[in-house]
Structure 1
Amino acid sequence: MDIFLSINNREQVIKLPVLPTEFRIQSGMKNDTFDTISQGEIKLIGMSALKAIAIQSFFPAKEYSFLRDDSYKGWEYVEAIEAWKVRRVPIRLVITDSPVNMPCTIESFEYGIQDGTKDIYYTLTLSEFKFIKLKQGKVEYA
């Protein structure tokens, strides 16, 4: 399994160098609950909510034997992701050996150093991004 983040149809790609110990995708529904006079509380099934995922791992500051990629070093990963935030474009998350391949927005990116290795530990929280599909219609004048 590998995890890739990219922007603009693979204009820039980051392969996470250290896989997280786990990942969980939150997939909810937008259901509504209403109070009625005759039946009490009822629930209406809504549409799917946007999926979300939080990835926790670290960006290595030096070489380790277990790295999956060494294209960037330490703070270069942080700089790339921060630059993506500034560009305000959706990113694509791909997790190989799984069906996960979705456009996302960065909801939060928390990072810092926690030990003497200079490795940068991070939590990257992503939310699904849906491209808007509009139908073109005719404008008629009365």
Structure 2
Amino acid sequence: MKYWIMKSEPDVFGIEHLKSRPRKTEAWDGVRNYQARNMLRDEMKKGDQVFFYHSNCVEPGIVGIMEVVKEGYVDHTAFDPRQKYFDPKSNPAKPRWYMVDVRYKRKLKRTITLAEIKTEKTLKNMKLVQRGNRLSIMPVSKAEWHHILKMETQPT
């Protein structure tokens, strides 16, 4: 099993949106970065655990936990010009983009903010805090995962 962090803007698709979906499950579509696409397509496996991260908001941070319930498959939204994530260079015969399905597991007891994460010496090598790393999907080590879960019960 691997661990991940996936970012989304809470006003576009937040943890509450996922929680309200049928079976608390949704396709994680619209990823349009090749490095992130490769992780979706090649590395994410059913059962992998994922931190849900709210980005581009007043207080960015980890707000919940999801699980990968369907491994990488073609992101069909790239083929439809009426879709927000349409890509005219992608086609069903030679798809460019992939997605996975994730299921809501739980909200954290509190948001673990980016500011907090940056102050933790144990997390100094986490991809999330690396300079210039703006990917919407990033791997998380097992040690980082467990450290963040410990932070959840610590007072701020």
TM-score, reference length from structure 2? 0.35
Structure having the larger proportion of residues in strand: 1
Structure having the larger proportion of residues in helix: 2
Choose 1 or 2 for highest CA Rg.
1
TM-score, reference length from structure 1? 0.38
Q: Which has the higher contact order (CA 8 A, sep 6+)?
A: 2
